[in-house]
C-alpha cells in the first residue's frame, strides 16, 4: 500500500556518510518532533534527478528554512558512498541538504514507492516524490506520474502548496 497524506512514516534505517564512514539513520528519530522535507529520486547521477530535482531543492533551501523546515532530506536507493559523492557534485551538501542512502530499498518499499525498470538498469528504485513531514506524519505528499519528470515534486512546487 502506498503512503498517503495523513499517514505516519514507517520507521526504517537509512545510511549516511559520516566523518567515520557509513552511519545508520533512523527515520523515526530524524522526523520526531520536527518539520522536515523528504524528497526521493530514482537514482543518483541519473539525468532528471541530477539536473532538475536536486537543483530545485538547492535553489529553494532558504525559502523552506523561512517556512520553518528544519531539514531537507534526499533519499535514493543508492549506497552512502554514492550519495556523498552526488551531494558534493550537485552542491546539495554545501547547501545543507542531507543525502541518505536507502541501499536495500527497505524505506522505499515500506512507503509503497518502489518500481523497477530493468531496461534502464533500475531495479527496486524509488518513484520520484516530495513530502512534508511533521512529527513523523506526512502532511503533504506530491508524487510524479512518471519517474522521468520533475514537476509536482520539485522544490518550487512543494513550496507553493505549503
Beta bridge partners of 115: 125
Residues 6+ apart with CB under 8 A from 63: 155, 159
**74 given a catalytic annotation:** no
H or E element, residue 42 = none
Out of 3, 49, 73, 138, which one is annotated catalytic? 49
Rounded Cα–Cα distance for residues 79 and 156 (Å)? 27
| 20: alpha, beta or left? (left if phi > 0; alpha if psi -120 to 50) | alpha
CA triple 30-42-71, angle to 5 deg = 25
Query: Strand, helix or coil at 162?
Result: coil
**DSSP assignments along 64-104, one per residue:** HHHTT--EEEEEESS-HHHHHHHHHHHTHHHHT-EEEE-TT
- The answer to whether 31 touches 131, Cβ cutoff 8 Å, is no
Could you list the active site residues? Answer: 49
Amino acid at each position: 500500500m502506498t503512503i498517503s497524506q495523513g499517514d505516519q512514516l514507517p520507521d526504517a534505517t537509512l545510511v549516511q556518510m559520516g566523518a567515520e564512514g557509513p552511519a545508520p539513520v533512523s527515520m523515526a528519530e530524524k522526523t520526531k518532533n520536527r518539520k522536515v522535507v523528504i524528497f526521493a529520486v530514482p537514482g543518483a547521477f541519473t539525468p532528471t534527478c541530477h539536473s532538475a530535482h536536486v537543483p530545485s531543492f538547492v535553489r529553494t533551501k532558504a525559502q523552506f528554512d523561512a517556512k520553518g523546515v528544519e531539514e531537507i532530506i534526499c533519499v535514493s536507493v543508492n549506497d552512502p558512498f554514492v550519495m556523498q559523492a552526488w551531494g558534493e557534485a550537485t552542491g546539495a551538501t554545501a547547501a545543507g541538504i542531507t543525502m541518505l542512502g536507502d541501499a536495500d530499498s527497505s524505506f522505499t518499499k515500506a512507503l509503497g514507492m518502489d518500481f523497477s525498470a530493468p531496461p534502464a538498469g533500475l531495479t527496486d528504485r524509488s518513484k520520484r516524490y516530495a513530502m512534508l513531514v511533521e512529527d513523523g506524519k506526512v502532511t503533504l505528499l506530491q508524487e510524479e506520474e512518471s519517474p522521468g519528470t520533475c514537476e509536482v515534486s520539485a522544490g518550487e512546487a512543494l513550496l507553493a502548496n505549503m
